[in-house]
Amino acid sequence: MKKHPLVLKSLVFLSKLTLILLGIVILYVIGSFIFAISGEGELISTYPVDITFENAELKHYTSYDFIRSKGYIKFSSEHWSYYLLKIIDSILKIGLIFWATLIAHRLFKRVEAGEIFSARNVKKLQQLSLLVFFVFLYEIIEYAVYALYIKAHSANDTQVIQPYLWKDADKQVLGYLIPDLNFSILIISLILWVISEVFRKGHYLETENKAFI
């Protein structure tokens, strides 16, 4: 069977490098959390607010991104619980990416070793696809948690940042929180599932071929 050792070796190396970098990022996130809770300063929500709303006043935002029509709000007071929410979110997200990279790394290593259409590879590809799909689902959960948190902590009595799904008609709205979803993740998940099906067919054909002498 013809192999492409250079490409596969590069993929194995790249995935290994990603794993190391993710490990460093996890350590950095934990370090920043410890630094943040011990220090003082403005607490800014990292979840973007939609500023296309007609009454949106830019002065209420600490920073904004005109290209994406997104702004970032400042909390009215210091909330250590936001840091906790942020670190749990970061670790979960990095953890999911770490897990997916680990599966991909093992897959590349096996393919490099010449084990291509095996039942194990099919299973791992399906796992990878489901994991990437879960990252997409996680973004929805992340939106719900941030929206509820920001609704509860950033508002004063009259002007609020509201989650679009839980808007309160009685209050003057500064901006809406809309889900910051990445649909390319969903497409990647579907592509991975299709590749896993190709591998499943390949595994079947290889097994059939081995049964013939």
Partner 1 sequence: MPIIINLDVVMAKRKMSLTELSEKVGVSMTNLSLLKKGHVKGIRFNTLEAICEVLECKPGDIIDFEPKSSSNE
Binding site for partner 1 (CB under 8 A): 208, 211-213
CB of 203 to partner 1, least distance (A): 15
CB-nearer residue toward partner 1: 35 or 212 = 212
CB-nearer residue toward partner 1: 3 or 201 = 201
CB-nearer residue toward partner 1: 77 or 209 = 209
Phi-psi group of 114: left, alpha or beta (phi > 0 → left; psi -120 to 50 → alpha; rest → beta): left
All residues at 6 or more sequence positions from 102 whose CB lies less than 8 Å from its CB, including other chains = 19
Nearest-10 Cα torsion for 185, 186, 192, 195: -140
CB-nearer residue toward partner 1: 1 or 213 = 213
Helix 119-153, helix 80-112: angle, nearest 10? 170
CB of 196 to partner 1, least distance (A): 25
CB of 208 to partner 1, least distance (A): 7
* Phi and psi, residue 58, nearest 5°: -65, -20
CB of 90 to partner 1, least distance (A): 53
For residues 3 and 188, give the distance between their C-alpha atoms in angstroms, rounded to a whole number: 25
